[in-house]
Amino acid sequence: MGVDDFANWLRDLARTLHDNAAYLTELDSAIGDADHGSNMDRGFAAVVAVLDETTFDSVDELLKKAGMTLVSKVGGASGPLYGTFFLRFGTALAGAEVSAATVGEALKAGVGGILARGKAEAGDKTMYDAWAPALSAYDEAVAGGADLRGALVAATEAAAKGRDATVPLVARKGRASYLGERSAGHQDPGATSTTLLLESAARTLG
């Protein structure tokens, strides 16, 4: 597990977000400003362009560069949030051997960055509603002896449930919160892209 594996993940994720861009934007059109798919597609296309032109010596440099690219290329809420995730995820992996345990710690650090920036709490109808159950499921899987892929599969399944559970919620953070009660009955776009991110990781890492 090294630089090439994480680069493969980011490339797979870019393809996945491109293929799901219309879907993510449709979700955002119901409770936001109809740009989540194009934001994510544009940001990850820029990440792939960086991968194409740069050779990285370490996983943490690769992930930090991806994070900085997302922060600089994606406006709106999701760019800084996912950008901070990748910055902290990469920083936490600096000097560490990639394993189920170290990736778990790094995921926690990354999500800590999302919380530091966005101040979301569980149930606010944001991407954190996919991340929170994913982190718990990941830890539980590792405690039960799962390897990296097994832990990522467990995290993905939990994220998908958390994503689905955002439907009835009333948004308390981000643009969707401007709608108040009218935000209920719609799936959160960011919780949806977070589930795609983890699904892609489970497919490509480990």
For residues 159 and 195, is the Cβ–Cβ distance under 8 A? yes
* Block residue for tokens 């910055």: 87
Residue 111 is classified by DSSP as H
Q: How far is the CB of 144 from Mg ion (least distance, A)?
A: 37
For residues 84 and 114, is the Cβ–Cβ distance under 8 A? yes
Contacts for 15 with CB less than 8 Å, ≥ 6 apart:
none
Size of the site for ligand ADP (CB under 6 A): 24
CA trace torsion 30, 36, 37, 38 (10° rounding):
120
Give backbone dihedrals phi and psi of 55, rounded to 5 degrees, phi first.
-105, 125
Does 20 help bind ligand ADP (rule: CB under 6 A)? no
Does 112 help bind ligand ADP (rule: CB under 6 A)? no
Size of the site for Mg ion (CB under 5 A): 6
DSSP 167-203: TTPPP-SSGGGGGGGGGTTS--HHHHHHHHHHHHHHH
Residue of 21, 173, 198, 202 interacting with ligand ADP (CB under 6 A): 173
Does 60 help bind Mg ion (rule: CB under 5 A)? no
Query: Considering only 7-15, 45-53, 75-83, 96-104, which stretch makes contact with ligand ADP by CB under 6 A?
Result: 75-83
Does 83 help bind ligand ADP (rule: CB under 6 A)? no
Instruction: Give the C-alpha separation, 173 to 195, whole Å.
Output: 19
Does 110 help bind ligand ADP (rule: CB under 6 A)? no
Nearer to ligand ADP, 24 or 153 (CB): 24
Percentages of the chain per state (helix, strand, coil), in multiples of 5 = 75, 0, 25
Could you give the count of Cα atoms lying within 13 Å of 109 in the half-sphere of its Cβ? 16
Does 32 help bind Mg ion (rule: CB under 5 A)? yes
Here's the x/- map for ligand ADP, 177-206, by CB under 6 A: it reads as -----------xxxx---------------
Nearer to ligand ADP, 15 or 119 (CB): 119
Residues lying near Mg ion in the complex (CB under 5 A) are found at 28, 32-33, 35-36, 76
Sites of contact with ligand ADP (CB under 6 A):
28, 32-33, 35-36, 39, 76-78, 81, 114, 118-120, 126-128, 173-175, 188-191
